[in-house]
Chains A and B, each alone.
Chain A
Amino acid sequence: MAELFSEVYNCYYQVIKSLIEKKNYISEDELNFRIKNNGFEESILYLLPKLTKEGWGFYEKENGILHSKLSTDFYVPLTDLQKSYLKSILTDDKIGLFLSDRELHKINEAFAHISPLFHGDDFYYYDRFADKDDYKNPEYKKHFQTILSAIKKQEYLDILYESRFEHRVHHCYLPCRLEYSIKNDCFRLLAVNQHNLRNPRIEILNLSRIRETAPTGKRVTRLPDINRSLQRSYYKEPVRIIIKNKRNALERAMLQFANYEKNTRRLDDNTYECLIYYNKKTETELLIEILSFGPMIKVVGSEAFLQLIKERLERQHAMLSVRTPPS
């Protein structure tokens, strides 16, 4: 089987493929721009002379314009490694959200001679939450597909949503992204409420709690910048933690918090300071993640987060204080 670390997947190959499949001529300025946009930062230094001067000969220069010798229909067939990956994802329980049984059958037939790269059974997510979404539920699938289509069309949806306390609320939302959580094995919709479009604030809806979805026909020309909205939702002051490197705590913490925007520095041989950026929605999750490290991590800021930790410790201390602390 083809190797994963192979030149076939090389970034330069992809840059050239994207250049030739678009059109059969290009100016040097555009070439420059496209390489800078799609290549690595320093790719231009190597690629430009190879494409414009005596190099690989893919282009012929005429009146300052580069004419491609290759067809715009150019394509690279999938490698067996790529086919075996596709074969693997066809067995996942979420695939039915995207493909019909007939389509699944068709793809399986196309790759009949290929073995899957992995099976679901090869992996065991031993601390994954038990209340995953029901991907086989026809209603769930219908809502998923309506949302998917609305994101692509940039169209408002009428959504009937049932909150955690079983209150039903009806709102008009602009769906922006679908978020999949590996830990919860569920989807959430990141959307903007119709009334907040000028100052977009991302609202998060659990797909399993969506009861009805209806397209409105009303569209926008551009989706709001959700990264800006998410970043704006982060507290200005990050959580500041001190990590004592005992019992491999540093390595554990650096991996566990690798998901967050963070910044770490060494204070002395055995002590490190780490700043972690977070928002209101991730606050409790971060709090209990930090608590799970016990005395290996100490929160020193922000004051608000520190108070949350202290409140829990005081409550716990009151519960344990009837017993004698260990010597």
Chain B
Amino acid sequence: MSEFKELIKSFSKSREYVRDFFVYGFKTRDEFGGWSGRTYDNERRRLESWLSGYVRQDYTEKGKNIYLSMDSNLLDTNPLYRVWKAKSFTDNDIMLHFYILDYLLQSKKETADGITDGILDIYDMMFDSQLVRRKCNEYAKDGILTKEKSGREILYSLNPSFRELLSSCPGLEDALKLYQLSSPLGIVGNTIMDNASLTNDIFRIKHNFFVHTLEDEILSVLLQAMHEEKAVQISIKSTRSEAMHTMEGVPLKIFISTRTGRRYLCLYLPAKRRFTCARLDSVKEVFVKEPFPPYKEIKEKLEKNKISAWGVSFQNEGHTRLEHVKLTLHISESSEAYILNRLQREGKGGTILHIAPDTFTYEISVFDANEMLPWLRTFIGRIVDIESDCQKLNSLFRRDFFAMYHMYFEEN
């Protein structure tokens, strides 16, 4: 039996496990399909090690189930960031990291051979100079070291410390404490906090979906393709059937729902000449392809179109351009002004009219009225009428409502 290791080489398998443990949290050992029992045991043990304090377990008839329980309102950082800090390394990697950086702190500028000799002199550690050169080049590529030519020699030097910048811009310290939780790719901000030994003792975050960080590597590749105005080929795993398929398109924007926690990649499909959205958490691989020359023109088109999208759909089943929705609500003028506020702030610029005492209408035209259904249901208890040229919306709302009513009042 191979020795258990806390660190991992590749992120993709652990990403799926952590996601399942975190999002679902009811699967027992037998219910984790696709991998052997041994793999499950190792992944579970790693998860318990990385995220100790957040792992809970229950015993059910089907066996023990492990799950992650995190109340984002109570946390100073995203515990799932720890998964990103579990990359395995070799003894040489870690030794060269500390010896090269410490040596350059003293000697300022040096060749790879000079650094190799210096490490032997000062720390009594011997390395192959090729290894040292390779690590120095790697760090120069990553931006940690500066590499410059002086005559026939290549000199390496340490780039400035982040602490220096912090001392002249102290507000950046507090900003990082916020952004590591609130911004996209907050994990990177969190590694900067590690770099400067900072901990967040000021900010809390609400409506944050910690699980998004598991998609951050895919996201950063897509962002780069967007900035370089290039097309991509993506491999998608269906969240329902788990089947894999590929799609080619031009990545334009990331659509985010602050309510449901879903994130989508918005793509333009040149062959079909339309926009589409794919769940970001279903994208498993990205291959960056060639530049797409009319990128800016298409992006402008998206900016105009997105105003009429309620969510992420740019077309409807009736193939009409826009579908109209009119919602009539009973709202007490004297005591329920907050409902009007809700319509204003959540209604995406729809028109609100006061049509009778305690009665208001809200109207909007969108590409796909069906997308509004979950939001419309949040007004249950006040809905006088829903009118729409999307017949499915009317019938679904009424069918679901009566099913709900039956469930609570007529079942049992």
Asked if B258 and A182 make an inter-chain contact with CB atoms under 8 angstroms apart, the answer reads yes
Q: Chain B residue with minimal CB distance to A185?
A: B258
CB distance from A118 to the nearest CB of B (A): 5
- Shortest Cβ gap from B406 to chain A (Å): 8
Q: Complex formed: what's the CA distance from A248 to B311 in Å? A: 17
B278 proximal to A (CB < 8 A): no
Measured CA separation A157–B188 after assembly (Å)? 34
Q: Are B143 and A2 in contact (CB under 8 A)?
A: yes
Q: Is B274 an interface residue (CB 8 A)?
A: no
B345 touches A129 (CB 8 A): yes
| Beta-carbon contacts under 8 Å, B202-250 to A | 202-211, 216-217, 220, 223-224, 226-227, 239-240
Q: A128-B258, A294-B377 are in contact. Are A21 and B175 (CB under 8 A)?
A: no
- CA A323 to CA B58, docked complex, whole Å: 47
Closest partner residue, chain B, to A116 (CB atom): B227
A89 touches which one: B48, B189, B223 (CB < 8 A)?
Answer: B189
Report B-chain residues with C-beta under 8 Å of the C-beta of A291.
377-378, 380
Whether the pair A179, B205 counts as a contact (CB closer than 8 A) is yes
| Docked CA distance A6–B220 (Å) | 14
Q: A-B pairs with CB below 8 Å: how many?
A: 390
A254 lies within 8 A of B23 (CB): yes
Set of chain A residues within 8 Å of B169, measured between Cβ atoms: 99, 103, 106-107
B392 on interface, CB distance cutoff 8 Å: no
A268 to chain B, nearest CB (A): 11
Shortest beta-carbon distance from B336 to chain A in Å: 12
- Which of B109-117, B259-267, B289-297, B315-323 lies at the binding interface? B259-267
How distant is the Cα of A40 from the Cα of B129 in the complex, in angstroms? 33
Interface stretch, picked from A27-35, A69-77, A191-199, A213-221, is A69-77
On chain B, the residues within 8 Å of A294 by CB distance are 373-374, 377, 400-401, 403-404
Residues of chain A within 8 A (CB-CB) of B158 are 77
Given known A123-B253, A325-B402, contact A277–B71 (CB-CB < 8 A) = yes
Residue A258 CB within 8 A of the other chain: yes
Query: Which residues from B are CB-within-8-Å of A129?
Result: 345-346
Contact of B178 among A20, A118, A122, A180 (CB under 8 A): A180
- Give the residues in chain B near A122, CB-CB below 8 Å: 184, 223, 226, 253-254
Give the contacts of B336-389 with A (CB-CB under 8 A): 338, 341, 344-346, 348-349, 373-375, 377-378, 380-384
Is A326 in contact with B399, judged by CB distance below 8 angstroms? Answer: yes
Report if B276 contacts A (CB, 8 A). no
Asked whether A326 and B395 contact (CB < 8 A) given A82-B188, A130-B345, the answer is yes
Contact B407 A295 (CB under 8 A): yes
A57-B95, A118-B185, A316-B401 known; A99 and B175 CB under 8 Å?
Answer: yes
Which residues of chain B are within 8 angstroms of A128 by Cβ–Cβ distance?
Answer: 258
- The answer to whether A81 has its CB under 8 Å from any CB of chain B is yes
Q: Are B82 and A85 in contact (CB under 8 A)?
A: no
Nearest-neighbor residue (CB-CB) of A9 within chain B: B191
A56-B95 in contact (CB<8A) = yes
Does A313 sit within 8 A of B, measured CB to CB? yes
If A77-B161, A127-B346, A227-B74 touch, whether A183 touches B211 (CB-CB below 8 Å) is no
With A7-B94, A255-B260, A259-B208 given, is the CB distance from A177 to B69 under 8 Å? no
Indicate whether A130 sits within 8 Å of B375 (C-beta atoms), given known contacts A79-B143, A98-B175, A180-B206. Answer: no
Asked whether A112 is an interface residue with its Cβ less than 8 Å from the other chain, the reply is no
Contacts of B176 in A (CB 8 A): 89
Q: Report if A11-B85 is in contact (Cβ < 8 Å); known contacts: A190-B204, A316-B383.
A: yes
Say how far A278's CB is from chain B's closest CB, in angstroms. 10
Contact of A312 among B144, B178, B380 (CB under 8 A): B380
| 8 A Cβ contacts from A238-288 to B | 248, 251-252, 254-256, 258-266, 272, 277, 288
| Chain A contacts for B131, CB-based, 8 A | none
Q: Which residues of B contact A124 (CB under 8 A)?
A: 253-256, 266, 306
Interface contact B142-A80, CB-CB below 8 Å: yes
Residues of B within 8 A of A57 (CB): 95, 123-125
Given contacts A79-B142, A293-B374, A316-B380, contact A88 B183 (CB under 8 A): yes
In the complex, whether A65 has a CB less than 8 A from a CB of chain B is no
Contacts of A26 in B (CB 8 A): none
Contacts of A190 in B (CB 8 A): 204
Closest to A182 in B: B207
Residue contact A71 to B102, C-beta cutoff 8 Å: yes
Say whether B205 contacts A182, CB under 8 Å.
yes
B254 pairs with A89, CB closer than 8 A:
no
B258 touches A83 (CB 8 A): no
A117 and B399 form a contact (CB under 8 A): no
Q: Is the CB of B84 within 8 A of A4?
A: yes
Check if B35 is an interface residue, CB within 8 A of chain A: no
Chain B residues whose CB sits within 8 angstroms of the CB of A6 once the complex forms: 87, 142
What residues of chain A lie closer than 8 Å to B306, measured between beta carbons? Answer: 124, 126
A160 neighbours in B (Cβ, 8 Å): none
Q: Which residues of chain B are near A86, meaning CB under 8 Å?
A: 172, 192
B98 touches A180 (CB 8 A): no
Among candidates A7, A78, A95, A131, residue contacting B88 with C-beta atoms closer than 8 Å: A7
Min CB gap A227→B, angstroms: 5
Indicate whether A77 sits within 8 Å of B144 (C-beta atoms), given known contacts A118-B184, A254-B23, A259-B209.
yes
> When chains A and B are docked, how far (Å) is the Cα of A288 from the Cα of B342?
12
Can you add 19 more A-B contacts, CB < 8 Å, to A12-B94, A255-B211, A259-B209?
Answer: A16-B94, A42-B6, A56-B98, A75-B163, A77-B145, A82-B191, A97-B175, A106-B168, A107-B172, A125-B256, A127-B259, A127-B260, A130-B349, A131-B341, A178-B204, A262-B69, A266-B26, A277-B71, A294-B400
Can you report 15 A-B residue pairs in the complex whose CB atoms are below 8 A from each other? A40-B6, A71-B106, A77-B159, A85-B185, A85-B189, A98-B172, A103-B172, A121-B253, A123-B253, A124-B306, A127-B311, A184-B206, A255-B260, A259-B208, A315-B381
Interface residues, chain A, with chain B CB atoms under 8 Å away: 1-14, 16, 18, 20-21, 40-43, 46, 50, 55-58, 69-71, 73-83, 85-86, 88-89, 92, 94-95, 97-100, 103, 106-107, 110, 115, 117-119, 121-131, 148, 151-152, 164, 177-184, 188, 190, 227, 230-231, 248, 251-252, 254-256, 258-266, 272, 277, 288-289, 291-295, 298, 309-317, 319-320, 323, 325-326
Q: Which 3 A-B pairs have the closest CB atoms?
A: A80-B143, A312-B381, A77-B159
